[in-house]
């Protein structure tokens, strides 16, 4: 009966991970930590949502010693690449400090909890087409302060695993998609706009966006959390695993599939403010390692993920229309 | 007429860099910073040695704004790999913080000073014989908390150079040798012991050491500082350069050469406390990049460096015998 400590508990990945536990491990206990308050939800297992600033090392140490987790899922991060360019020192030091605040008590007190250190495809940074799909042995060349912090997090994990025997497993997680993701991300932003147009009876939706020719590797968040759970169960200590689909999709492809699903025609307009300098045209990962070691593979195909997302935004926008005040909170 | 700001100014590399400036750029001005007091020396050019804790960000920012360096040589570090295993969080955060305290004012105030970020061969970490000699494109796999901090320092440098145009050039510096190096390092420790034995009239010297079969890449510190100066002059912004000889030498080879030079027979005894777990057998770098871009190459061959070191320790031990009180300071 595992005791899960989950950081970044108010986020959408954490909520899907809790839903996964509900289905597969209902005898567990969980404690969520976040700097933002979040709901304790309605889970069958004991779940508490605590508010804590992860930059407060002694407070985290106390939580770890009091709660005695057997598994720690570190999802919290200052994850905006854009913000990391505006405040590089804060982004770097905050991301590495919140991670060390969690990692160090395990070493210091010789705890045997397994820590899943969630990293990012941003660690790869600038890559050449010949490097695709990206495998875990590829040299890391992070291209943002955020990316550098993620590399440091991963390399510290490895050093702690090898040097002190701390039980850490690391990921490099690529793009996620799924219900609950905020519409500041590209796919939910597209879906919200198209669903909104359809609800208003429009047959056409104008989408203003950055470069829609870019290719990314999107994985359904429900496949992501199943991969994370698999790594708790059978990942190898001190090893890093790509979490990705292995399939690249251009945003143009996403838009045309979305048009087909919703029956709304999409007109594209380039928004120069959304064009990013030096944006990489194509980022696709190889999931071979986790596939061969864990037998994990995606269960949601991209089209059905998108259909679920359309249904989610239909419901969400409907609720907002019915209770506009709720929306303003 | 350049204005040099040098961190870690009390260290032996800084002292050799100042001596190099004295010979080649006597119209410069220099300010040394160190947490330890150091002598202002007797240079022809204006040189001040200041005491400052580099963890004090606002103080460094003020120094940078007041002194307005055109070139910054960042030699200061918490450089003990062993200590980094004892206090991993301090080693990581202190090394990255002192560097960011120096780097960030350049970005924040849009200063055009060139910063030379001195890194370490420890960034490569665990390597396979097939990877030797190590080139700059080799994937980094640091094996200690200290090594991870050095990788972060280098990657932050690259991101600042590419993202903000900050003028940073990076090194991965391999083993140094030369007059003034403290005898906690392996070569000066060997030389001191052998010279001490000879001064006492002994024909034989017992050397207790770790594994003397390990192969390392040693470069004379006078070649090191000439390489650093070359990078200030002609290194490319945002690029990293190995600083090494390209030649591997086992400690056994060092000992037999030392025996030949001094006429003292050396008996080896393994000291188990000096054996390091997972010590890499062979670390050799490739200096091809700096050679081809700058035309730099080592001028001191290993044998003459060792002869100079023997002379240095002869003199130093002689002085200590003549004024034992001096020695106790």
User: Cβ separation of A147 and B163 shorter than 8 Å?
Assistant: no
A143: which chain B residues are within 8 Å (Cβ-Cβ)?
159, 162-163
Distance from C-alpha of B163 to C-alpha of B99, rounded to nearest angstrom? 17
The pLDDT tens digits of the residues spanning B197-240 come to 999 999 999 999 989 999 999 999 999 999 999 999 999 999 99
User: Cβ separation of A93 and B97 shorter than 8 Å?
Assistant: yes
- pLDDT for B126 equals 87
- pLDDT for A233 equals 98
Return the CATH class of domain B181-216+247-283+301-328: alpha beta
**Mean pLDDT taken over chain A:** 94
User: Does B269 have pLDDT greater than 70?
Assistant: yes
The answer to whether the peptide bond before residue B133 is cis (omega within 30 degrees of 0) is yes
User: Cβ separation of A100 and B85 shorter than 8 Å?
Assistant: no
- pLDDT for B326 equals 54
Indicate the fold that domain A3-176+219-243 takes in CATH. Answer: Rossmann fold (3.40.50)
- pLDDT for B57 equals 97
A142: which chain B residues are within 8 Å (Cβ-Cβ)?
155, 159
Which range among B42-46, B150-154, B295-299 shows the weakest confidence by mean pLDDT? B42-46
- Is the Cβ–Cβ distance between B227 and B290 less than 8 Å? yes
The pLDDT tens digits of the residues spanning A271-316 come to 888 777 667 899 999 999 999 999 999 999 999 999 999 999 999 9
Q: Which residue's entry shows tokens 């591997």? A: B248
Beta bridge partners of A248: none
- pLDDT for A321 equals 87
- Tell me the pairing of strands B168-173 and B215-216: unpaired
* pLDDT bucket at B317, cuts 50 / 70 / 90: very high
H/E stretch holding B318? helix B302-322
Q: Which DSSP string do the residues of A134-186 spell out, in sequence order?
A: BPTTSPPB--SHHHHHHHHHHHHHHHHHHHH---EEEEEE-EEE-TT--TTSH
Beta bridge partners of B172: B119, B242
User: Does A122 have pLDDT greater than 60?
Assistant: yes
B94 inside 8 A of chain A by CB = no
The pLDDT tens digits of the residues spanning A132-166 come to 999 999 999 999 999 999 999 999 999 999 999 99
User: Does A102 have pLDDT greater than 80?
Assistant: yes
A298 inside 8 A of chain B by CB = no
User: Cβ separation of B148 and A156 shorter than 8 Å?
Assistant: yes
Of B107, B137, B148, the CB nearest to A159: B148
- DSSP character for A125? B
A97: which chain B residues are within 8 Å (Cβ-Cβ)?
93
Torsion region of A20: left, alpha or beta (phi above 0 gives left; psi -120 to 50 gives alpha) = alpha
User: Cβ separation of B148 and A143 shorter than 8 Å?
Assistant: no
Distance from C-alpha of B291 to C-alpha of B277, rounded to nearest angstrom? 34
- pLDDT for B41 equals 76
Return the CATH class of domain A182-216+247-283+301-328: alpha beta
Tokens for A149?
A: 């912090």
User: Cβ separation of B159 and A147 shorter than 8 Å?
Assistant: yes
User: Cβ separation of A88 and B160 shorter than 8 Å?
Assistant: yes
User: Cβ separation of B88 and A159 shorter than 8 Å?
Assistant: yes
Q: Where are the domains of chain B?
A: 3-176+219-243, 181-216+247-283+301-328
* pLDDT bucket at A82, cuts 50 / 70 / 90: confident
Return the closest-CA partner of residue A259 out of A224, A212, A216, A327: A212
Tokens for B123?
A: 């960034």
- A with B: how many residue pairs have Cβ under 8 Å apart? 86
- pLDDT for A325 equals 62
* pLDDT bucket at B329, cuts 50 / 70 / 90: very low
For residue A164, give the chain B residue with the closest CA: B85
B97: which chain A residues are within 8 Å (Cβ-Cβ)?
93
The pLDDT tens digits of the residues spanning B16-37 come to 999 999 999 999 999 999 998 8
Distance from C-alpha of A190 to C-alpha of A170, rounded to nearest angstrom? 31
Q: What is the pTM of this model?
A: 0.94
Distance from C-alpha of B127 to C-alpha of B139, rounded to nearest angstrom? 9
Helices (H), B129-220: 145-164, 186-199
Q: How far is CA A39 from CA A320, B53, B64, B259, in A?
A: 19, 45, 48, 73
> Looking at CA atoms only, how far is residue B141 from chain A in angstroms?
8
- Tell me the pairing of strands B47-51 and B29-34: parallel
- pLDDT for A6 equals 98
- pLDDT for A329 equals 43
């Amino acid at each position: 009966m595992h005791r899960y400590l989950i950081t970044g508990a108010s986020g959408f990945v954490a909520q899907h991970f809790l839903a996964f536990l509900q289905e597969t491990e209902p005898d567990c206990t969980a404690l969520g930590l976040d700097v933002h308050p979040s709901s304790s939800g309605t889970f069958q297992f004991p779940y508490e949502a605590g508010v804590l600033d992860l930059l407060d090392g002694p407070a985290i140490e106390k939580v770890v010693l009091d709660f005695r987790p057997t598994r720690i899922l570190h999802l919290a991060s200052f994850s905006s690449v854009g913000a990391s360019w505006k405040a590089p020192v804060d982004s770097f030091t905050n991301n590495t400090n919140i991670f060390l605040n969690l990692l160090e008590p395990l070493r210091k007190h010789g705890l045997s909890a397994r820590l899943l250190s969630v990293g990012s495809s941003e660690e790869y940074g600038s890559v050449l087409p010949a490097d695709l799909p990206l495998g875990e042995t590829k040299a890391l060349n992070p291209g943002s302060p955020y990316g550098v912090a993620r590399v440091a997090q991963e390399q510290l994990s490895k050093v702690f695993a090898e040097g002190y025997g701390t039980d850490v497993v690391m990921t490099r997680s690529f793009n996620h998609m799924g219900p609950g993701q905020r519409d500041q991300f590209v796919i939910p932003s597209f879906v919200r706009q198209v669903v909104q147009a359809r609800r208003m009876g429009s047959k056409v939706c104008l989408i203003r966006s950055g470069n829609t020719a870019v290719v990314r590797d999107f994985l359904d968040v429900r496949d992501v959390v199943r991969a994370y759970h698999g790594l708790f169960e059978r990942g190898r200590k001190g090893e890093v695993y790509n979490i990705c689909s292995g399939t690249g999709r251009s945003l143009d492809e996403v838009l045309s599939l979305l048009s087909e699903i919703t029956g709304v025609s999409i007109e594209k307009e380039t928004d120069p403010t959304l064009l990013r300098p030096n944006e990489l045209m194509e980022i696709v990962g190889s999931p071979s390692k986790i596939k061969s070691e864990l037998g994990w593979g995606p269960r949601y195909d991209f089209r059905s993920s998108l259909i679920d997302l359309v249904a989610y935004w239909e419901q969400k926008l409907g609720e907002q229309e019915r209770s506009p005040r709720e929306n303003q909170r």
